[in-house]
């Protein structure tokens, strides 16, 4: 593995969402960012309901929502992965019922991971990209002229070898969708958003379900954009359901938001400490459209 890839991997592991936290490496003060974070706090960014789907009722809600909007087979595959992860983990660590999120839940992560690693499982660990693609794969198509640059996907590739979730065509589409994208050295996210919009315009997304992604700018090996975190936003009778897997080790999450904007703010809050003066800050895309917050 290349040295630069190892450096990138270290950054990705350190992030609070499982994708890296450069501020823990570079102690950066940014007054503008502090103001934005303060505003997020005032707006009660944790006003949502969250579940790890650790009981039949919550998992059935998620499965039914997937089946209403996507392929039934992928709903079963996703449910099997969730049940396999949650197997034998105590209910005081993983939630079943949808409930308000709290900071105390974060403190349980280490114990959850430790418990998970002590239990034999059918499936290896997965991440946000693998799960999002699993749900989307039968309802999207990608143009043939998309070049694959899988430099950032070495951990995904290792996991996919053991999962046996995708056929060869699926794998090709996975590497296309999550390829890194050449960009400029600009520190303006709007400049990079146009690059990402052009790249993702070659993907035909399902019209009712949104792939919401956090795009990171990296300059360790030239200037590139890549999807550092991603989840799916599905419509409910009232509001939206967001499905994500924070990292390979961490549990699955289903989150109920009253409106799309709350999901965007949730992701913005996750990446509020991802600060690097040499690159553009993270930005959010919904399918192939830039979301300005």
- SS3 of the chain: the string is CCHHHHHHHHHHHHCCCCCCCHHHCCCCCCHHHHHHHHHHHHCCCCCCEEECCCCHHHHHHHHHHHHHHCCHHHHHHHHHHHHHHHCCCCCCCCCCCCEECCHHHHCCHHHHHHHHHCCCCCCCCCCHHHHHHHHHHHHCEECCCCCCCCCCCHHHHHHHHHHCCCCHHHHHHHHHHCCCEECCCCCCHHHHHHHHHHHHCCEECCCCCEEEEEEEEECECECEEEEEEEEEEEECCCCEEEEEECCCCCCEEEEEECCHHHHHHHHHHHCCCCCCCCCCCCEEEECCEEECC
* Higher pLDDT, residue 107 or 9: 107
What pLDDT sits at residue 101? 78
Mean pLDDT of 206-229: 96
- Judged against a pLDDT cut of 80, whether residue 23 lies above it is answered with no
| pLDDT band at residue 181 using 50, 70 and 90 as cut-offs | very high
- Judged against a pLDDT cut of 90, whether residue 196 lies above it is answered with yes
55 CB burial (10 A radius; 0-12, 13-18, 19+) = middle
pLDDT digits (tens, 9 = 90+) for 133-156: 999 999 999 999 999 999 999 999
What pLDDT sits at residue 47? 82
- Judged against a pLDDT cut of 70, whether residue 1 lies above it is answered with no
- Judged against a pLDDT cut of 80, whether residue 292 lies above it is answered with yes
What pLDDT sits at residue 79? 97
- Judged against a pLDDT cut of 50, whether residue 102 lies above it is answered with yes
Mean pLDDT of 208-227: 96
pLDDT digits (tens, 9 = 90+) for 249-266: 999 999 999 999 999 999
Q: And the tokens for 178?
A: 């999550």
Mean pLDDT rounded to a whole number for the chain: 85
Mean pLDDT of 48-74: 96
- The reported pTM is 0.85
What pLDDT sits at residue 104? 56
| pLDDT band at residue 42 using 50, 70 and 90 as cut-offs | very low
Query: At 86, phi and psi to the nearest 5?
Result: -75, -10
Mean pLDDT of 32-54: 59
């Amino acid at each position: 593995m290349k040295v630069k890839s190892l450096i990138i991997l270290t950054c990705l592991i350190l992030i609070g969402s499982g994708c890296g936290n450069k501020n823990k490496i570079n102690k950066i003060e940014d007054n503008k960012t502090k103001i934005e974070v303060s505003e997020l706090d005032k707006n009660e960014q944790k006003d949502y309901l969250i579940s790890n789907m650790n009981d039949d009722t919550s998992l059935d809600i998620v499965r039914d929502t997937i089946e209403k909007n996507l392929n039934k087979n992928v709903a079963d595959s996703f449910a099997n992965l969730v049940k396999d992860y949650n197997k034998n983990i105590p209910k005081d660590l993983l939630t079943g019922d949808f409930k308000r999120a709290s900071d105390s839940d974060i403190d349980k992560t280490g114990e959850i991971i430790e418990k998970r690693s002590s239990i034999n499982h059918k499936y290896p660990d997965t991440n946000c990209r693998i799960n999002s693609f699993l749900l989307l794969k039968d309802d999207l198509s990608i143009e043939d002229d998309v070049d694959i640059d899988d430099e950032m996907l070495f951990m995904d590739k290792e996991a996919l070898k053991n999962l046996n979730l995708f056929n060869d065509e699926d794998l090709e589409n996975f590497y296309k969708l999550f390829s890194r994208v050449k960009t400029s050295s600009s520190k303006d996210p709007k400049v990079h958003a146009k690059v990402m919009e052009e790249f993702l315009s070659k993907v035909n997304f399902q019209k009712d379900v949104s792939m919401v992604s956090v795009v990171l700018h990296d300059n360790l090996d030239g200037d590139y954009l890549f999807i550092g975190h991603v989840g799916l936003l599905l419509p409910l009778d009232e509001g939206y359901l967001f499905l994500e897997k924070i990292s390979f080790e961490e549990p699955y999450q289903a989150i109920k938001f009253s409106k799309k904007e709350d999901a965007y703010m949730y992701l913005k809050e996750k990446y509020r400490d991802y600060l690097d003066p040499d690159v553009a800050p993270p930005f959010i895309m919904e399918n192939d459209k830039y979301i300005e917050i």
